[in-house]
Amino acid sequence: MQGTIVSIQIGLPKVYQHVVEGDDGEDRAWSSGIFKRVVEGPVWLGKTNLTGDGQADLVHHGGSDRALLLYSADHYPWWTQQFGHDIEFGSFGENLSVTGIDEHSVCLGDRWASDEIEIEISQPRLPCFKLARRMSKPGLNVTVMENRKGGWYARTLRTGNVMKGQKLELLERRHPDWTIDRAFDVFIHEKRDSSVLQALVDIPELSQLWQDNLNKRLGRVE
């Protein structure tokens, strides 16, 4: 199985004063690295991010568990229909826009490689209100989650350069039953079934943030 990197995006956090009609109604500054610019590469992928990329909220974004955000470029035609106009790669805050793979064909713990780099899939991406503000679309983060088109995070196993046009090759699949789509569904909707929650938290490649959240949930169930 393989995908193709069709676009690379990077961006550093900035402070914005931006309110969308119908949004949360609070006229306040907010900080984010979700506005990203397209680069051709080569771009160096380190242990925590691409060179020139950064995150404002280091609890839910970035770090060794979320060094890279990938998004299926195959979703873009569908979003173009929803918005009624073309949208550019990187609009969902992703670092890599890839064709040929999506939330149904990528699994937790997968190891993928592209020339110099090797990555490991760590968790689905749950977009927050900042995506809605970035796109001037109130409630877009909810729409993304309802349609299961959020993307996924990966940690870096082997650093190196990445370039547009490179192939991402699946090297190893350890948890074929745990697609990104299924993991997202369990995390969002499963509140009481301790067996399925335990099965998810037992995946060693799952991000520490999700493990902590699920363990707290299991404690409440028990």
Average confidence (pLDDT) per 10 residues, the chain, 222 residues: 97 76 58 87 95 79 91 97 93 97 98 97 93 88 93 98 97 98 94 91 97 92 70
Q: Residue 134 to residues 21, 35, 60, 90, 139: CA-CA distances in angstroms?
A: 13, 7, 17, 11, 11
Rounded alpha-carbon distances, angstroms, from residue 127 to 7, 42, 61, 114: 20, 27, 10, 26
Question: CA 157 to CA 154: how far, in whole Å?
Answer: 9
List the domain range (segments joined by +) for residue 101. Answer: 2-174
- Around Cβ 167, how many Cβ atoms within 10 Å? 14
Pair 144, 127: CB distance under 8 Å = yes
User: How confident is the model at residue 209, as a pLDDT?
Assistant: 95
Query: Phi, psi (5° rounding) for residue 138?
Result: -55, 130
Assess contact for 118 and 112: CB atoms under 8 A: yes
What pTM, to 2 d.p., does this model score?
A: 0.92
pLDDT given for residue 128 in this prediction: 85
Q: b/e for 118-131, b at 16 or more Cβ within 10 A?
A: bbbbbbbbebebbb
pLDDT of residue 16: 79
Give the count of domains, the chain: 1
Q: Is 220 among the domain residues? A: no
- State how far the Cα of 80 lies from the Cα of 92, in Å rounded to an integer: 13
Residue 66 counted as domain residue: yes
In this predicted structure, what is the pLDDT of residue 219? 87
Residue 167 lies in a domain: yes
pLDDT at 190: 84
Domain of 68, CATH number, reads 2.40.33.20
Residue 205 lies in a domain: no
* Domain assignment of residue 140, yes or no: yes
Residue 152's SS3 state is strand
Asked if the structure places residue 129 within a domain, the reply is: yes
Give pLDDT, residue 27: 57
Plot region of 82 (φ>0 → left; ψ -120 to 50 → alpha; else → beta): alpha
pLDDT at 19: 56
Q: At 59, which amino acid appears?
A: V
In a domain, 132, yes or no: yes
Kindly state whether residue 56 falls inside one of the protein's structural domains.
Answer: yes
Cα separation of 113 and 65, whole Å?
Answer: 17
